Amino acid sequence: MENQINESVKYLTKEQFETLYHISRVLNSVIYEDSLIQETLDLVIKVINAERGLFVKYDEHENRFDIIGARNIQKENINDLSVFSSGVLQKVIDKKEPCLYHDVQSDPSVSQFKSIQLHNIKSILGVPIKRGDKVWGVILVDSMNNRKEFNEGNLVFLDFFSNMVSLALDKITQMQELQNENIILKNQLQSVKSIPDLIGKSLAMQKMAALIHKVAATDATVLLFGESGTGKELIAKAIHNISSRADKPYLAQFCGSIPDTLLESELFGYKKGAFTGAVADKKGLFEVAHDGTFFLDEIADISVALQAKLLRVLQNQEIIRLGDTQVIKVNVRVITATNKDLKQLSKEGKFRADLFYRLNVFPIRVPPLRERRGDIALLVDHFIKKYSNKEILLDSKALKILEDYSWPGNVRQLENVIQRALILCEDGKLFPEHIVIDDESEEAAFQGTLKEFEKILLKKRLEEYNGNRTLAARSMGVSVRWVQLKIKEYGENI
């Protein structure tokens, strides 16, 4: 074999060697493009002094040749296969070997082919491109009467060339198969992988799920906006869970109506002695969330001073603990949520515009439940399973009531209504009389200040939970410390 190669190599000219070297580099780039084939064919035509070059793929089933590239010496494309000798192509396929015909006009084995007569062809050289023991295609060059004849050297050159093409094809096919597989898998993931825990098949939810998948694959800062109870918190967690940070920490901090200093020390931590009560160093949540995701809920409520600090974290990915000078690097994907119009707030100067733009890198609008009523039946089913271990059906009239309601409190309100209905329901079916929708408009129509509302809500929740501060805090989505501080502020018997 080695001897054979050595024997063959001596037929090659310096120019042919150089061309092979050049072609090997071109083919190695593994990008399958027409221009690449054309460029290589032009080189082949030039170096072996041919008139035309043809590169075809052979379709075994249909016994057909498809042009991959065909060029003439003027570097023009040829689109018509019939100008080449299909008889010679077939011979190469049958023999599976390179074929060289010197004086075709007087060679009886090929001279009868019409195209040969028609185009006054003198020499033809055909080389199979083999893949395994099959012929994948053929490279054919020909030359007319007024040109030089092909020789053994041309044949060796073309044979080398064909081997290189074959190797490149293997690589290209493998690459393309992998790419296709990749596209298919990704696509399957996107269509099949609904967001875990996030119930809903409506178009609005499907669109949102697609966005969630897209952004989850990146580290971009996400801003979730939408009415209260639409599932923003759930989505923030879902983004983390399907992101590459899934096995790293996920932390959430509610930022609404929390005293500034408290929130600041939660977020950034402090150094021992930073303020009275700071008896030991404390890590901030940004530090704890390192490499993971940090969800800042109700972001619209943070103070101007904290907005500036948060901007610094987003810009530099670093924090400084309160009372400290040491800079700590953090790598945290930030997700924020709000039910307010942050853009409007930033226009009114109530929220830093530069921070808004940093947070708004990838905004996701979470649609209110009334815009996706088709999901109500699914959600009801989900909540029944969540709160009851018995098989409970939903009466069609009851479903109609639920589907017709406007749900100002969105999914959270629906969840409460179902929880209540399950308590009222005695047999295995939910009927209209079990559906008690409390008029949340009492809260919506509240005319007082936020402080007054805060006080009323706190009182109501403490009563509801028999003074249990932990449960009351949880029901309002705030920390126990916040409740304690408020009780201090308003007095024990608010």
Ligand X SMILES: Nc1ncnc2c1ncn2[C@@H]1O[C@H](COP(=O)(O)OP(=O)(O)OP(=O)(O)O)[C@@H](O)[C@H]1O
Is residue 199 at the binding interface for ligand X, with CB under 6 A as the rule? yes
User: Per the structure block, which two tokens stand in for 262?
Assistant: 């408290």
In the list 137, 231, 269, 284, the residue contacting ligand X (rule: CB under 6 A) is 231
From CA 270, how far away is CA 278, in angstroms rounded?
A: 7
445 by Cβ neighbours in 10 Å (0-12 / 13-18 / 19+) ranks as exposed
Is residue 206 at the binding interface for ligand X, with CB under 6 A as the rule? no
Q: How far is the CB of 239 from ligand X (least distance, A)?
A: 12
Is residue 411 at the binding interface for ligand X, with CB under 6 A as the rule? yes
Interacting span for Mg ion (CB under 5 A) from 184-192, 226-234, 279-287, 375-383: 226-234
**Positions in 154-193 near ligand X (CB under 6 A):** none
Pairing of strands 333-338, 293-297: parallel
From CA 358, how far away is CA 353, in angstroms rounded?
A: 9
Q: Which is nearer to ligand X, 356 or 383 (CB)?
A: 383
Q: How far is the CB of 167 from ligand X (least distance, A)?
A: 52
In the list 22, 46, 412, 455, the residue contacting ligand X (rule: CB under 6 A) is 412
Q: How far is the CB of 468 from ligand X (least distance, A)?
A: 20
Is residue 417 at the binding interface for ligand X, with CB under 6 A as the rule? no
User: Per the structure block, which two tokens stand in for 135?
Assistant: 């012929």
In the list 51, 233, 415, 454, the residue contacting Mg ion (rule: CB under 5 A) is 233
| Residue 300: HSE in the Cβ half-sphere, 13 Å Cα cutoff | 18
Pairing of strands 393-394, 362-365: unpaired
Q: Which is nearer to ligand X, 200 or 284 (CB)?
A: 200
CB 246 within 8 A of CB 196: no
Is residue 371 at the binding interface for ligand X, with CB under 6 A as the rule? no
Long-range contacts of 247-250 (CB under 8 A, 24+ apart): 248/290, 248/291, 248/292, 248/293, 249/288, 249/289, 249/290, 249/291, 249/292, 249/293, 250/289, 250/292, 250/293, 250/295
3-state secondary structure of 132: coil
Interacting span for Mg ion (CB under 5 A) from 10-18, 100-108, 232-240, 322-330: 232-240
From CA 366, how far away is CA 226, in angstroms rounded?
A: 5
Is residue 232 at the binding interface for ligand X, with CB under 6 A as the rule? yes
Is residue 227 at the binding interface for Mg ion, with CB under 5 A as the rule? no
Q: Which residues lie closer than 8 Å to 437 by C-beta, 6 or more apart?
A: 401, 405, 413, 417
- Residue 115 interacts, among ligand X, Mg ion, none and using kind-specific CB cut-offs from 5 to 8 Å, with none
- Residue 234 interacts, among Mg ion, ligand X, none and using kind-specific CB cut-offs from 5 to 8 Å, with ligand X
Pairing of strands 333-338, 99-101: unpaired
In the list 230, 265, 293, 336, the residue contacting ligand X (rule: CB under 6 A) is 230
Q: How far is the CB of 25 from ligand X (least distance, A)?
A: 54
Which helix (H) or strand (E) element contains residue 353?
Answer: helix 353-359
- Residue 200 interacts, among Mg ion, ligand X, none and using kind-specific CB cut-offs from 5 to 8 Å, with ligand X
Is residue 415 at the binding interface for Mg ion, with CB under 5 A as the rule? no
Q: Which is nearer to Mg ion, 137 or 231 (CB)?
A: 231
User: Per the structure block, which two tokens stand in for 335?
Assistant: 């997700």
- Residue 367 interacts, among Mg ion, ligand X, none and using kind-specific CB cut-offs from 5 to 8 Å, with none
- Residue 412 interacts, among Mg ion, ligand X, none and using kind-specific CB cut-offs from 5 to 8 Å, with ligand X
3-state secondary structure of 322: strand
Q: Which is nearer to ligand X, 116 or 300 (CB)?
A: 300
- What are the residues facing 128 on neighbouring strands? 138
Classify each residue of 451-490 as buried b or exposed e, where b means 16 or more C-beta atoms within 10 Å of its C-beta: eeebbebbeebbeeeeeebebbbeebebbeebbeebbeee
From CA 245, how far away is CA 258, in angstroms rounded?
A: 28
- Residue 393 interacts, among ligand X, Mg ion, none and using kind-specific CB cut-offs from 5 to 8 Å, with none
From residue 30 to residue 69, what is the string marking binding to ligand X with x (rule CB under 6 A)?
A: ----------------------------------------
Q: How far is the CB of 254 from ligand X (least distance, A)?
A: 8
User: Per the structure block, which two tokens stand in for 79?
Assistant: 């689109």
Instruction: Select the residue whose beta carbon is closest to Mg ion and give its number.
Output: 233
Amino acid in position 209: A
Interacting span for ligand X (CB under 6 A) from 94-102, 227-235, 243-251, 478-486: 227-235
Q: How far is the CB of 208 from Mg ion (least distance, A)?
A: 16
3-state secondary structure of 274: coil
- Residue 199 interacts, among ligand X, Mg ion, none and using kind-specific CB cut-offs from 5 to 8 Å, with ligand X
Is residue 371 at the binding interface for Mg ion, with CB under 5 A as the rule? no
- Residue 415 interacts, among Mg ion, ligand X, none and using kind-specific CB cut-offs from 5 to 8 Å, with ligand X
- Residue 217 interacts, among ligand X, Mg ion, none and using kind-specific CB cut-offs from 5 to 8 Å, with none
Is residue 296 at the binding interface for ligand X, with CB under 6 A as the rule? no
From residue 377 to residue 396, what is the string marking binding to ligand X with x (rule CB under 6 A)?
A: --x--x--------------
DSSP string, 20-64: HHHHHHHHHT----HHHHHHHHHHHHHHTT-SEEEEEEEETTTTE
In the list 37, 136, 165, 233, the residue contacting ligand X (rule: CB under 6 A) is 233
Residues that bind ligand X (CB under 6 A): 198-200, 228-234, 339, 379, 382, 411-412, 415
Sites of contact with Mg ion (CB under 5 A):
233
